[in-house]
Chain A
Amino acid sequence: MALFSKRSLEGWLLIDHTAAPGMPLETARNTGAMPVSRGMKFECATLTCSHCQQVLILNPDRTRERGYCPKCDHYVCDACEGIRVQSGGDCKTFKQIMDEVETSVLKKSLII
């Protein structure tokens, strides 16, 4: 039996500036871009928030606890973690939201 690892949920992001002048620090600071400088290659794992589908770049230096929803067994972004904690642990995954949208459209189409 294969063991499930949350690392299997990780995507991959590459920003390659090995032949580029890089992202100026001031621009990166003002826009939220990754400050990958001249001649550098940045590779990292990404997570897709289970509740809103925002793609998160994992900061290996983060010491704070990462948002985690035990009900859907996925990591969630900080904003969704705040909502989850405030609501007492509610879990509504993006897949559930998609199912609801689909169901509501189908129900409307059945009304004659």
Chain B
Amino acid sequence: MAKRSVSVTTQTPTATADTTALADATYPFLVQGGSGTQRVNIMEVYLGGQAGASTPTIMVLARDTTVAATNSNGAGQNDAPLDASTAALAAPPLTGNTNTTKPQRSATQKLLNLSFNAFGGIVRWVAAPGEEISIIGNTQPLGEVSLSAFTGGTPGALGAHLIYEPF
């Protein structure tokens, strides 16, 4: 299939506890399988700080125990293929941060801690080929992953992207 990138140009996330509904536009994005059997591989996550003062930001990539419904992209959010000639998928994965049923981060299935200081800090994770983080289907707990701010810091403005590949 084709690699895609979901990105947010600028956003100040809201620190949210585990198993608590992530309110609209308070987290960079989620990725959910486009069908009950779709596989998605996550191969890169990048966060760049844009804050104007020191803001330790505790960002977590985690599986969700409640998956989002009626999902759409929020302000400043994009989802685009990396290859210009990518054909449209019949069942594309869902990305976004605005939804009717709000996602909830799992308390036990956190996959990556991407904490940094958003006052000029950068954090980037790249998977080795074959060792990507996977999503299967579109139901909890394996069908959705979200990038969101965990409690304990003072989240600052940031831009982010996540590169993924649906199959």
* Residues from chain A with Cβ under 8 Å of B5 in the complex: none
Docked CA distance A29–B19 (Å): 22
- Is the Cβ of A11 less than 8 Å from the Cβ of B125? yes
Interface positions of A from 92 to 111, Cβ below 8 Å from B: 94-95, 97-98, 101-102, 105-106, 109
Task: Annotate B110-146 by CB proximity to A: 1 below 8 A, 0 otherwise.
Answer: 1111011111111111111011111011000010000
With A23-B56, A27-B56, A30-B152 as known contacts, state yes or no: A55 contacts B125, CB within 8 Å.
yes
A52, A53, A106 pick with most chain B CB within 10 angstroms:
A53
* Residues from chain B with Cβ under 8 Å of A46 in the complex: 125
In the A-B complex, the 9 residue pairs with the smallest Cβ-Cβ separation, listed nearest first, are A33-B115, A20-B121, A31-B152, A20-B120, A16-B122, A19-B120, A98-B136, A21-B54, A48-B131
Asked if A17 CB lies within 8 Å of chain B CBs, one says: yes
With A27-B153, A98-B134 as known contacts, state yes or no: A32 contacts B113, CB within 8 Å.
yes
A-B contact count (CB 8 A): 119
Task: Annotate B98-120 by CB proximity to A: 1 below 8 A, 0 otherwise.
Answer: 00000000000111110111111
CB distance from B59 to the nearest CB of A (A): 9
- Is the Cβ of B111 less than 8 Å from the Cβ of A16? no
* Residues from chain B with Cβ under 8 Å of A8 in the complex: 128
Q: Which residue in chain B gives the minimum CB-CB distance to A54?
A: B111
* Residues from chain A with Cβ under 8 Å of B121 in the complex: 15-17, 19-20, 22
Task: Annotate B62-92 by CB proximity to A: 1 below 8 A, 0 otherwise.
Answer: 0000000000000000000000000000000
- Is the Cβ of A14 less than 8 Å from the Cβ of B122? yes
Can you list 17 A-B contacts (CB < 8 A)? Answer: A8-B128, A9-B130, A9-B131, A13-B124, A15-B115, A17-B117, A17-B121, A21-B54, A21-B120, A23-B56, A23-B116, A23-B117, A24-B56, A33-B115, A52-B109, A54-B111, A105-B37
- Is the Cβ of B117 less than 8 Å from the Cβ of A21? yes
- Is the Cβ of A10 less than 8 Å from the Cβ of B39? no
* Residues from chain B with Cβ under 8 Å of A91 in the complex: none
